[in-house]
Amino acid sequence: MRAVVPVLTVVAVIVAIWYAAAVWLNAPWARDMAARQDRELGAAELVVDTWSQDKPKLPAPHQVVTELWDTTVEKAVTSKRSLVYHAWVTLSATLAGFGLGTALGFALAVGIVYIRVMDMSVMPWVIASQTIPILAIAPMIIVVLNAVGVSGLLPKAVISMYLSFFPVVVGMVKGLRSPSAMQLDQMRTWNATSAQEFVKLRLPSSMPYLFASLKIAMAASLVGAIVGELPTGAVAGLGARLLAGSYYGQTIQIWSALFMAAAVAAAMVGLIGVLQRVTLRRMGLDR
Amino acid sequence: MTARALVSRAPLVAFQIALGVALVVKGLVSSGVGTALVTLALFAVWIGGTLLNSWLAARPGASRFKAFAIPLVFGLTLLAMWEIAVRGYGVSTVILPPPSAIAVRFSHSLPILWEDFVQTVIKGALSGFVIGCVAALVTAVVVDRFDFLRRGLLPVGNFVAALPIIGIAPILVMWFGFDWQSKAAVVVVMVFFPMLVNTVEGLHDTSAMQRDLMRTYAAGYWTTLFKLRLPAAMPFIFNGLKIASTLALIGAIVAEFFGSPVRGMGFRISTSVGLLALDLVWAEIVVAAIAGSAFYGAIALLEKAVTFWHPSQRGHGH
């Protein structure tokens, strides 16, 4: 709890800077409009105007909050104007990709730990695969999969999968190798089969690593789903809201979509954090 | 070698053989001899590559050669399988061009690729990377100086580092215009927080004994910072730099989707997809992969140099 006061202070400072920046960035437009109507703007009027423009360069925080309230609570969840609906579209793709990526990452990690050739041949390519900016080729993947007849949720999930399998592979390889030689010897003296060794020693000791990687994978997966929505022509989802907002200069819409994405990311990562605490406590690994 | 021995000695090859036989039979039954032959060739190459690698891995000695050769064989196997599959099954080049076509396209459009490389990587990603990392380093030193700031900013920074920051790309494109400045701005914001969090953590990574030693030398804040704490933070800083290097490339390319002049890798990729010129898209991907690997590799080399340089420097100094 020692951190509450400093964190609140920092957040308050950020909000204050934001309001100030809104005045600074939106002032030229406000002055311009006033000049056209042949009137002078006083300092107070200027501030009020810059905080309540329709298409500001930087919307003030309260405008974003109002928009968020309007599009989440006031609208029906099924409406296409509801941000909850768009967030759900993105979240479903994120979760599908996250599930696939975790499964793939887990399988690869087991293979890499148990099969020497895979360790030497696959691991360097797993690392190299992440230097390819997959987000950049997202449009191609979407279009090509569409051409093959796969559309909707799956192409986005594929991009999320590609981004999320990497942290899981790296973390799980580390985790599955974390038992010491002495512990492995102990299993051998108990005449454990390699399946038993995996289930009773390697898997439990990899859990802390697994949860740390899952958090990173979830964040990456959400980014993948959002970017995957960009080339589909802005149909639905948070990415589509971003793109539509940038086409029509609806900055308030962009910012509210951004905040929704942040909230989704925080909720998902927080959920994994809770799972982590519960699991590790039951396993007696909690410190 | 009996089947049982094969399974226990090389589970991967056994799996490949089983899958291969099943798919060849399926091809024979449902699509005729030609398809079955392609499947057969595909699996022959795959199993051959795996066996070669198994043999290489089992050979004694020369581990540096093995660390280089085995991934190479694996990569070549994948490329060969890709080529065979695309040509053999008659996949349309609009969906997936074979590697040879990509190589031809790459060599024919070098001027375009170079122009895009300069626009996106040098102007966009690299300048943003440098500005963002330097800003984060300076901020980290300031944050580290004041404990209140550290306790307040670190949780916020950690939170922001997990957010989909790429989403601010449309906003920054609106603010800074279509040219490379807006891409650099996106990169600055993307690399700032991972770099900040890592550096602050690193600056804290000195033991009480080391700090006490500096105090007995009557070293001031700045001396301690430059002689002890910054060097001690180097592993963390390089970790941040590595994360930032991949983020920088992604940020610069994706930001171009929201508007760019008529050059740049992101622009080329999105327009070429529209024109169904997939070989050019893949050529750009090759450029991106090479640039990304080179960037990452350069930082890794620098890290080695610094880590090597550093203890020796400490040995001479105070």
Q: What is the ipTM of this complex?
A: 0.73
Same domain? For A124 and A259 the reply is yes
Q: How sure is the predictor about B318, in pLDDT bands with cuts at 50, 70 and 90? A: very low
Q: Assess whether A248 and A108 both reside in one domain.
A: yes
Contact B189/B129 with Cβ under 8 angstroms? no
* Residue A78 counted as domain residue: no
- d(C-alpha B210, C-alpha B216), whole Å: 10
CA angle A240, A245, A248 (to 5 degrees): 125
Tell me the pLDDT tens digit for each residue of B184-221.
Answer: 888 998 888 888 888 888 888 788 888 888 889 988 88
> Within this chain, do residues A199 and A98 fall inside the same structural domain, yes or no?
yes
| Those residues with Cβ within 8 angstroms of residue B187's Cβ, 6 or more apart along the chain or in another chain | B124, B125, B127, B128, B129, B132, B247, B248, B251, B252, B255
pLDDT at A86 over 60: yes
d(C-alpha A167, C-alpha B285), whole Å: 22
On whether residue A68 sits in a domain, the answer given is no
| Residue A72 lies inside a defined structural domain of this protein | no
Boundary of a domain, candidates A58, A73, A103: A58
A87 and A49 fall within a common domain: no
Q: Enumerate residues 6+ apart whose C-beta is below 8 A from B107.
A: none
Q: With 70 as the cut, is the pLDDT of residue B308 above it?
A: no
What pLDDT is attached to residue A1? 57
Res A190: pLDDT? 92
Where on the phi/psi map is residue A38: left (φ > 0), alpha (ψ -120 to 50), or beta? left
pLDDT of residue B5: 52
CB contact under 8 A, B12 and A262: no
Does B316 score more than 60 pLDDT?
no
DSSP assignment string, A147-158 = HHT--THHHHHH
Helix runs in A83-235, H state only: 83-114, 116-129, 134-148, 153-176, 181-189, 194-197, 203-229
Q: Which domain holds residue A123?
A: 83-283
Distance CA B246, CA A225 (A): 18
Instruction: Identify whether residues A125 and A39 lie together within a single domain.
Output: no
pLDDT at B2: 52
Give the pLDDT score at B8: 54
Work out the mean pLDDT of chain A and round it to a whole number.
81
Q: How far is B159 from chain A (nearest CA, A)?
A: 8
Contact B94 A136 (CB under 8 A): no
Q: Which residue has the higher pLDDT, A263 or B24?
A: A263
Angle at which helices A134-148 and A153-176 pack, to 10 degrees? 130
Provide the number of structural domains found in chain A. 2
In a domain, A89, yes or no: yes
B292 pLDDT higher than 50: yes
Give a yes or no: residue A262 inside a domain: yes
Over residues B71-122, the pLDDT tens digits come to 888 888 888 888 888 888 777 777 788 888 888 888 888 888 888 888 888 8
Q: Which of B120, B82, B122 is nearest to B100 (CA)?
A: B82
- The answer to whether residues A21 and A153 belong to one domain is no
Mean pLDDT of A211-240: 80
Query: Are both A170 and A240 inside the same structural domain?
Result: yes
Q: Lowest-confidence range among A165-169, A173-177, B163-167?
A: B163-167
Task: Kindly state whether residues A89 and A30 are assigned to the same domain.
Answer: no
Chain A contact set for B266 (CB, 8 A): 136
Summarised one tens digit per residue, pLDDT across range B270-288 is: 788 778 788 888 888 888 8
Task: Assess if residue A270 is contained within a domain.
Answer: yes
- Between CA B289 and CA B239 the distance in angstroms is 20
Question: What DSSP state is assigned to residue A57?
Answer: S
Shortest distance, CA A245 to any CA of chain B (angstroms): 8
Q: Using the 8-state DSSP alphabet, how is residue B118 labeled?
A: I
* Each residue's pLDDT tens digit, A31-66: 777 777 777 777 777 777 777 777 777 788 888 888
Residues contacting A162, CB < 8 A, separation 6+: A101, A129, A134, A224
Q: For residue A187, what is the domain's CATH number?
A: 1.10.3720.10
Confidence bin at B317 (pLDDT 50/70/90): very low
Residue of A184 and B254 predicted with greater confidence = A184
With an 8 Å Cβ cutoff, are B254 and A255 in contact?
no
Same-domain pairing of A54 and A91: no
Return the CATH number of B105-316, one of 1.10.3720.10, 3.40.50.300, 1.20.120.1770, 3.40.190.10.
1.10.3720.10
Chain B environment of A231 (Cβ under 8 Å): 257, 270, 273
